[in-house]
Structure 1
């Protein structure tokens, strides 16, 4: 069994060495533990520091491509290097590396394919009240959308099995945290949360530079995932709004019509017709989305088989037996 710990990095020369110094080289249940750094177009000495700290694998982007792209590139490289389990952590030493054995235990014990570390949000001093509220709200929305009981969805401290890694698809360029859980949950991948500890703040978050921008980008990510992975329910509920308006103006027009009003109230009738047609179109999109979902699942299975063939992998059969 091989464990690879990956760290996406962008200009992390100030914190990378300290983060690597806490990473383990031995974890119970694994014969080999290796480190992988994804340099996302850093302009400082990130790569040099990684080499000085004896990092086993380095993925080097010439330009910055974003956290989500760096995460996926690291997953793909770890698969090519034969990882059975992949742990993702941040380069700012936010997460306590001593909890890595706790993080991988559900996968080693065949109880899950994806494990998300749950931070003690309420007790983190450098999190503002607004950020704490957004963290809890985002996790609730992801739980509703994915069907997975994930306590801390934005957490980047997570472990993923080889099986789940080969089924992973991330389309968002902003962050992988929310979409990966929604995609995994809707694809039937078993997900659990485990409580983990955090260290003190070493630098401001680069993902949450602005609360309004973070809310907007995260909301767009969740909406995109809902349209992709839950199109039927999403478009059905969207159709209820124009349906309610259409029915209101329809009954309003009927009331005036049978009241022998001298006015025709044609605008109400036209608005009612527009809203009812909009509701019908939403439900048509729901039907087409469900049909598209069947096609998406077939394509994901084909992609998974192609990845296994490309990697010469025969270990996925064992993982299939305990998929949730």
Structure 2
């Protein structure tokens, strides 16, 4: 069993030593523990610090591509390194490395494909009250949408087995946390949540500059990802609402028509017909989008099968 702990980094030379020092050297049930630092275009000495600390693997990206891209690149690199389990932690030392055994336990026991570390919700004193409230409310919303029992939907302290990591394809530019859960829901991965500890804050978040920006980016990401993975549901609901909205003025016109006053209310028929037409076209768009989504999943499956074949060939060559 090979565990790789990946750490996406952008200018983390000050906190990286603390992150790496707390990563356990031995874990029961794990034969090999290796560290992967993903340098997301750092302009400081992050790479030099990683080398001085004896980091096993360093992946350097061209330019600052963002956390989501760095996370996805790390997964792909870790899979190429034959990782059986991949743990993702942040480079700002927010998460307690000592909790890694607790985080990967459900995977080692065969109970989960993905495990998300829960930072304690309202009880976490390391976060301001507004952030704790947003975490609880937002996680509740995402839990209802994805139907996954995850207490902290935006926690970056996560563990994945090889299969789930290989099937993930993060396309968001903002953050991988929400998209990953929607994808896991669609793929029917087993997702577990375990309580973890956090360390005191070392710096402000680089993902957003204000609370309104965070809310806008999170909600837009959730909407975009959900439409991408479940387009038929979204467009059907929207189309049916438009149809119902169109029925209101149509019924109003019919009622006046039977009372002999239909001539003066023709605008209700026109308005209702317009809404009903848009509603029908919206449902049809949903059908087309669902076919496109199905085709994308077929392509993903073909690429996944190709990767499996390449792995088998490489294993045979090594033997």
TM-score (normalizing by structure 2): 0.93
Q: Could you tell me how far apart the structure 2 residues matched to 1:313 and 1:275 are?
A: 57
Q: Could you tell me how far apart the structure 1 residues matched to 2:289 and 2:268 are?
A: 31
In the alignment, what sits opposite 1:215? 215
Is the contact between residue 126 and residue 199 of structure 2 (CA under 8 Å) also seen in structure 1? no
Is the contact between residue 147 and residue 186 of structure 1 (CA under 8 Å) also seen in structure 2? no
Gaps of 5+ in 1: 316-324
Structure 1 residues 57-68: aligned runs within 5 Å:
57-68=57-68
Q: Could you tell me how far apart the structure 2 residues matched to 1:217 and 1:103 are?
A: 28
Measured after TM superposition, the shift of residue 288 of structure 1 is 2.5
In the alignment, is residue 30 of structure 1 matched against residue 30 of structure 2?
Answer: yes
What CA deviation, in whole Å up to 9, does each residue of 1:109-143 have, x standing for no partner?
11111111111020223433332232223222322
What CA deviation, in whole Å up to 9, does each residue of 1:3-50 have, x standing for no partner?
000000011112111111111121111111000100101111111111
Is the contact between residue 254 and residue 262 of structure 2 (CA under 8 Å) also seen in structure 1? no
TM-score (normalizing by structure 1): 0.92
Structure 1 residues 161-200: aligned runs within 5 Å:
161-200=161-200
In the alignment, what sits opposite 1:45? 45
**Which SS does the other structure have where 1:23 is aligned?**
coil
Residues 299/120 of structure 1: CA separation in 2 closer, same or farther (3 Å cut):
same
Structure 1 residues 259-298: aligned runs within 5 Å:
259-261=259-261, 263-298=263-298
Structure 1 residues 92-107: aligned runs within 5 Å:
92-107=92-107
Q: Could you tell me how far apart the structure 1 residues matched to 2:224 and 2:236 are?
A: 16
In the alignment, what sits opposite 2:16? 16
In the alignment, what sits opposite 1:318? none
Structure 1 residues 194-273: aligned runs within 5 Å:
194-261=194-261, 263-273=263-273
Is the contact between residue 114 and residue 161 of structure 1 (CA under 8 Å) also seen in structure 2? yes
Cα RMSD over matched residues? 1.8
**Which SS does the other structure have where 1:95 is aligned?**
coil
Q: Could you tell me how far apart the structure 1 residues matched to 2:295 and 2:107 are?
A: 29
Which segments of structure 1 move beyond 6 Å, counting only runs of 4 or more? none
User: Which deviates the most, 88-97 or 253-262?
Assistant: 253-262
User: Which deviates the most, 269-278 or 151-160?
Assistant: 269-278
In the alignment, what sits opposite 1:322? none
Residues 8/313 of structure 1: CA separation in 2 closer, same or farther (3 Å cut):
farther
Q: Could you tell me how far apart the structure 2 residues matched to 1:53 and 1:11 are?
A: 16
Residues 27/268 of structure 1: CA separation in 2 closer, same or farther (3 Å cut):
same
What CA deviation, in whole Å up to 9, does each residue of 1:156-185 have, x standing for no partner?
000001111111111111110010111011
**Which SS does the other structure have where 1:110 is aligned?**
coil
Q: How many residues align?
A: 315
Gaps of 5+ in 2: none
What CA deviation, in whole Å up to 9, does each residue of 1:244-290 have, x standing for no partner?
22111111222222333375323222211111112112222232333
Residues 43/260 of structure 1: CA separation in 2 closer, same or farther (3 Å cut):
same
Q: Could you tell me how far apart the structure 1 residues matched to 2:95 and 2:167 are?
A: 26
User: Which deviates the most, 77-86 or 126-135?
Assistant: 126-135
Q: Could you tell me how far apart the structure 1 residues matched to 2:266 and 2:76 are?
A: 60
**Which SS does the other structure have where 2:104 is aligned?**
helix
Is the contact between residue 257 and residue 264 of structure 1 (CA under 8 Å) also seen in structure 2? no
